[in-house]
Structure 1
Amino acid sequence: MTVLILTPNPALDRTMTFANLRLGMVQRTDQVVVAAGGKGLNVARAAHTLGQQALVCAPLGGHTGRYVAALAEAEGLAGSWYYHHAGETRTCVLLVDPEADDATALNEAGPILGDDDWAGFAARASEAAVEATLGIVSGSLPGGIAPASLGTLITRLQGQGLPLIIDTSGAALVAALTAQPWGVKVNGAELGEVLGRSIATITEAVSALRELRDQGITLAAVSLGALGCVATDDTGTWHAQPPRITLVSSIGSGDSLLAGLATGLLRGMALPNALRLAVACGTADALTVGGGRIDPAQVAELAAATMITRV
């Protein structure tokens, strides 16, 4: 079974580690990790580590786009790429200081795509969907693409019989919810922005997820950082609480969480067990430098220490 991961706004990620990072002065990095990036590539990386077959579909441009494709191939990440002529795929710089509270992300906006570019990407996604059992739409939209176009793509792919889990934010998330995807996985801040209220506690998350279920969404999950994740489906609502850790970088943690959730579901796990795997993956990612990078042995240890509660 294959999970198709749509990444509308991919990137070349350069993650650099600095000891005692200070702005306004010359600094030398201790470590550089260059990788195919964007949220969907992070999801694919983590899913691949778990042994889950995944196919990434993304629009790529220029020399940078071809480099992203080559990096993905070198990692064993399968891609169905659409090459546009709207400019270079964006580059994002991620700064990690071991002494800081969290990493810093410097994200380019990326090229501005035209309607023809989006139509080409959507056609490629539709072709790839034939081989998939579950689909994920992960990340922001490229410049020039109206949020409604995402809703149309969701309707098209689900009309082909492919259930989709959506992980995006802002106007794109609003458009996605209007299209009634099978599933949604976002963080509390993203969902709170759309619903117009704070979602920072378990109680607030449960209420928000109930609202999504009332809109016709089958599976809904909201991550809450150190508080873990709350998820709901036809069987009930569950909270997964990970053990306490010393955070290295939260960048990519939500993507690994989504990879674990999708992998668990494709393996036939009930939601509580899939959620346990998801939170363990997200927590493992938070202990590493670079998005979507997890250690399977560490995931197993964290899963055993993750508490599942029905709420």
Structure 2
Amino acid sequence: MITVAGLSPSLDLTYLVDSLTAGSIHRPTEVVRCAGGKPLNLARAAAALGAEVEIIAVLGGTTGEDLAQQLRAAGVAVTTVPTPAETRTCVSIADAETGRLTELYPRAEPIPGDVWRLFHDQLEAALVRRPGWLAITGSIPLGLPPEALAELVRTARGAGVRVAVDTHGPALAAVIEERPELVKINRYEVAELLGTTPEGELITRAETVRQRTGGTVLITDGEHGSVAIDDHGRWRVPAPAERGRFPVGSGDSFLGGLLSVLDTSDDLVAAIRTATGAGTANALIPGPARFRADDVSRIAEQLTLEEC
């Protein structure tokens, strides 16, 4: 079972245009509207790959109600924690002429103290009845201290649930001290965590993070692939040759694919194959975490990992 902490949801709108010109009127060739934000993307991706997923989500207004309905339709169980503010809307504009993506992402509204307490209580209740994994992903909402996410790790540990983390900045630094079982971050996030420049050998940095957590560490590097390390070995993972135009949600799909396998198996290599397939397949279709399962399988089967 995978339980997701849904602290930064959004309604994601993707507009496809032939050519984007500043100051002009555009007639999109397609508009994709779906539940988004990193935790919602992850939840939908994992569910699409067969995992049993529940999200505890802070949702507000009619937008929040719509997102909950979308998630349930996608096979995700949803526990809604109401908040006074309308859930945000994020916009991506895909320019077919240049292949570029323009993104407009407002910050999530602050979570009031009473909403945070209710969220924590609902999450704790879910973890008691749902063994497996807790996924903590995305930016920490405004108004919460970095230690708030570390508190969620301690709550999961009290319930005997493993924790997977994908965040950044001070929140990541606080969470690392709680030794989560899995950390998935990118080249820039690990550089910030370790106080180094982004350039450098990623497997060495993964080893450094692992020394602090004792768990599995994956560092993604966009079109250059990823590296991974756990109790059984170290791997360098090449990026598949296929490239999509719609990378929004690929990291979330990667983690959703990873957990969908690790939820029932300790085979990290198999999990990486599915994760890479999901992240790559995500970019082939507009809208986050809306990949085709057959694309995931095809890409995963073609992947060759290198031990290092």
Shorter-chain TM-score range: over 0.9
2:203 aligned partner:
206
Give yes or no for contact 2:176–2:213 (8 Å, CA) kept in 1. Answer: no
Deviation of residue 199 (structure 1)? Answer: 4.0
1:118 aligned partner:
116
1:92 aligned partner:
90
Q: Given residue 2 of structure 2, which amino acid in structure 1 is its aligned partner? A: V
Deviation of residue 42 (structure 1)? Answer: 0.8
Distance 1:30 1:218, change over 3 A: same
In structure 2, C-alpha distance between the alignment counterparts of 1:280 and 1:210, rounded to whole Å: 24
1:33 aligned partner:
32
Deviations 1:127-168 (A, max 9, x none): 111213111111112111111111112112122111110011
Distance 1:222 1:20, change over 3 A: same
Distance 1:127 1:190, change over 3 A: same
Distance 1:231 1:102, change over 3 A: farther
Give yes or no for contact 1:186–1:223 (8 Å, CA) kept in 2. Answer: yes
How many positions carry a matched residue from both structures? Answer: 307
1:127 aligned partner:
125
In structure 2, C-alpha distance between the alignment counterparts of 1:279 and 1:191, rounded to whole Å: 19
1:278 aligned partner:
275
Distance 1:50 1:153, change over 3 A: same
Distance 1:237 1:229, change over 3 A: same
Give yes or no for contact 2:89–2:105 (8 Å, CA) kept in 1. Answer: yes
In structure 2, C-alpha distance between the alignment counterparts of 1:118 and 1:100, rounded to whole Å: 42
Percent of aligned positions that are identical? 33
Q: Given residue 122 of structure 1, which amino acid in structure 2 is its aligned partner? A: H
Deviation of residue 200 (structure 1)? Answer: 5.0
Q: Given residue 77 of structure 2, which amino acid in structure 1 is its aligned partner? A: A
In structure 2, C-alpha distance between the alignment counterparts of 1:46 and 1:100, rounded to whole Å: 28
1:264 partner SS: helix
2:306 partner SS: strand
Deviation of residue 103 (structure 1)? Answer: 2.2
Deviation of residue 247 (structure 1)? Answer: 2.6
Distance 1:184 1:93, change over 3 A: same
Give yes or no for contact 1:88–1:110 (8 Å, CA) kept in 2. Answer: no
Deviation of residue 60 (structure 1)? Answer: 1.0
In structure 2, C-alpha distance between the alignment counterparts of 1:179 and 1:100, rounded to whole Å: 44
Deviation of residue 48 (structure 1)? Answer: 1.6
2:256 aligned partner:
259
2:276 pairs with 1:287: no
2:47 partner SS: helix
1:136 partner SS: strand
In structure 1, C-alpha distance between the alignment counterparts of 2:73 and 2:48, rounded to whole Å: 14
Give yes or no for contact 1:20–1:99 (8 Å, CA) kept in 2. Answer: yes
Q: Given residue 8 of structure 1, which amino acid in structure 2 is its aligned partner? A: L
2:213 partner SS: coil
In structure 1, C-alpha distance between the alignment counterparts of 2:252 and 2:234, rounded to whole Å: 21
Give yes or no for contact 2:218–2:226 (8 Å, CA) kept in 1. Answer: yes
1:303 aligned partner:
300
Q: Given residue 52 of structure 1, which amino acid in structure 2 is its aligned partner? A: A
1:66 aligned partner:
65
In structure 2, C-alpha distance between the alignment counterparts of 1:33 and 1:166, rounded to whole Å: 28
Deviation of residue 269 (structure 1)? Answer: 4.8
Over the residues paired in the alignment, what is the CA RMSD in angstroms?
Answer: 1.5
Give yes or no for contact 1:242–1:307 (8 Å, CA) kept in 2. Answer: no
Q: Given residue 13 of structure 2, which amino acid in structure 1 is its aligned partner? A: R
Give yes or no for contact 2:137–2:167 (8 Å, CA) kept in 1. Answer: yes
Deviations 1:181-239 (A, max 9, x none): 111111111211221223456xx211111111111331110111112121111101112
Give yes or no for contact 1:14–1:33 (8 Å, CA) kept in 2. Answer: yes
In structure 2, C-alpha distance between the alignment counterparts of 1:71 and 1:268, rounded to whole Å: 29
Distance 1:274 1:282, change over 3 A: same
Matches within 5 A, 1:101-180: 101-130=99-128, 131-180=130-179
* TM-score, with structure 1 as normaliser: 0.94
Q: Which runs of 5+ in 2 are unaligned?
A: none
Give yes or no for contact 1:183–1:217 (8 Å, CA) kept in 2. Answer: no
* TM-score, with structure 2 as normaliser: 0.95
Once the two structures are overlaid, the 10-residue window that deviates more, 116-125 or 93-102, is 93-102
Deviation of residue 15 (structure 1)? Answer: 1.3
